[in-house]
Amino acid sequence: MEKIAVIGGAGYIGSHVCKLLKQSGYSPVVFDNLSTGHRRLVRWGEFFKGDLGSISDLLRFFKKHKVRAVMHFSAFAYVGESVDNPAKYYLNNVANTINLLNAMRNAGVNRFVFSSSCAVYGEPVALPMRENMPFNPISPYGRTKKIVEEMLVDYNAAYGLKFTALRYFNAAGADPDGETGELHCPETHLIPLVLDAAAGRRPYIKVFGGNYKTPDGTCLRDYVHVADLAQAHLLALRCLERGEGGGAFNLGNGNGFSVLEVIEMAEKVTGLKIPVKMVPRRAGDPAALVASSLRIQRNLGWKPQYNSLETIIRHAWAWHRKIR
């Protein structure tokens, strides 16, 4: 079986990708320092405890495992924290990624799937958002993703690194079989916090801003099921294996749901009342982020299977009840 390095495979999206890789006949090898990942989510392949800040860990890893490709999920992803502590973000998301790319070159591995983000675009100039929109990130987090995407273009030109950058919109949901799911600490994402409020673990859900220029005044986001994200990684890998460089692709469903619509759907799914408190806007939140994913649908044949918000929240709720 072909080995695939899954950097950050003990995390939310990485663990779903490991499961799919295993089911698809690959042998995932997880490289993770467990700073935010969880050992118990490494269930579909070997585990290597390593830190991208350590060149010797990387050398040992690539010596031990002859991998065919690398998928990189190991970034910090709290937008607000990146504003307060940009050094932490540039160090891990940029400098450590350079270590990884250099270790790959050293080992002769030239296929790379990168977890990018819609945060590279900043405030959208048009909706739905397409890949040819200009990069204009408004947070250090978004800038780290932009920098890495630009580096990948240069590495491709100079060293023949074949890569695909997948720009996630709002990753949500959980494994439909309930074997893995979201487990962030601290949790900042809307859906798990809404489910916490439904279960009575928080007194209410704060809604950040009710005066945006959107139909109900709250922000619109494009929620995309984590299992569909995983599928996109598999397609990207196969494309690289065919010798094609993939480029960059948006991953979303093309539908924007407001914060209040998410809460309403969570009430329907859980059958529980969710108390809401309107609070001021959170800094750095664009009013609406909605993807056009036509490029990946056309070029790689991506077809999201779980594109209803109800299914996304139902799977998140099943996982939530299992782990809390």
How many binding residues for ligand UFG (CB under 6 A)? 21
- Interaction between residue 144 and ligand UFG (CB under 6 A): no
Q: Is residue 3 exposed (0-12), middle (13-18) or buried (19+ Cβ within 10 Å)?
A: middle
Does 119 bind ligand UFG (CB under 6 A)? Our answer is yes
- Cβ proximity to ligand UFG, 61 vs 121, nearer residue: 121
Tell me how far CA of residue 96 lies from CA of 74, 76, 184, in angstroms.
9, 11, 21
Q: Which of 33, 170, 253, 292 binds ligand UFG (CB under 6 A)?
A: 170
Q: Is 118 in the site for ligand UFG (CB under 6 A)?
A: yes
Within 42-61, the residues that bind ligand UFG by CB under 6 A are none
Establish whether 168 is a catalytic residue: no
Q: Which of 12, 26, 121, 141 is catalytic?
A: 141
The least CB distance from residue 284 to ligand UFG, in Å, is: 8
Residues 6-45 that bind ligand UFG (CB under 6 A): none
Chain centroid, CA 90 distance in Å: 18
Closer of 116 and 231 to ligand UFG (Cβ): 116
Residue 230 makes contact with ligand UFG by CB under 6 A: no
Name residues contacting ligand UFG, limited to 241-280 (CB under 6 A).
259
Can you read off the two tokens belonging to residue 104? 């790959």
Q: Could you say whether residue 79 binds ligand UFG (CB under 6 A)?
A: yes
The residue type of 190 is L
**Contacting range for ligand UFG; rule: CB under 6 A; set: 19-27, 40-48, 232-240, 282-290:** 282-290
Using CB atoms within 10 Å of the CB of residue 253, give its burial: 0 to 12 exposed, 13 to 18 middle, 19+ buried: buried
Query: Does 319 contact ligand UFG by CB under 6 A?
Result: no
Nearer to ligand UFG, 18 or 251 (CB): 251
**Site string (180-219) toward ligand UFG, x via CB under 6 A:** --------xxx--x-----------xxxx----------x
Instruction: Give the residue numbers annotated as catalytic, written as ranges.
Output: 141
Residues that bind ligand UFG (CB under 6 A): 77, 79, 117-119, 141, 170, 188-190, 193, 205-208, 219, 221, 259, 282, 285, 289
